[in-house]
Amino acid sequence: MSISLKRRLSYNELVSQNRKEIMQDQSVLEKIESKFELKYQQLKENKEA
């Protein structure tokens, strides 16, 4: 296997690993966001009550 091919493979692995981590981060952020939205709704309802 040539060096450049090895390099390309490891680069592709890094890129796919980064993509997975980004997707995980996005799902965590979405969970946090939905919790904030829930809290905000509760606060609004408490104010109106």
pTM given for the model: 0.59
Question: The tokens of 34 are what?
Answer: 């939905």
Any alpha helices (H) in 1-49, and if so which ranges? 3-48
Residue 28: pLDDT band (50, 70, 90) is: very high
- Give the per-residue pLDDT at 1: 62
- In whole angstroms, what is the distance from residue 24 CA to residue 34 CA? 16
Residue 45: pLDDT band (50, 70, 90) is: very high
Q: At 1, is the secondary structure helix, strand, or coil?
A: coil
Mean pLDDT over residues 6-30, rounded?
93
Percent composition of the chain: helix, strand, coil (DSSP 3-state, to 5): 95, 0, 5
Average pLDDT over the chain, rounded to whole? Answer: 92
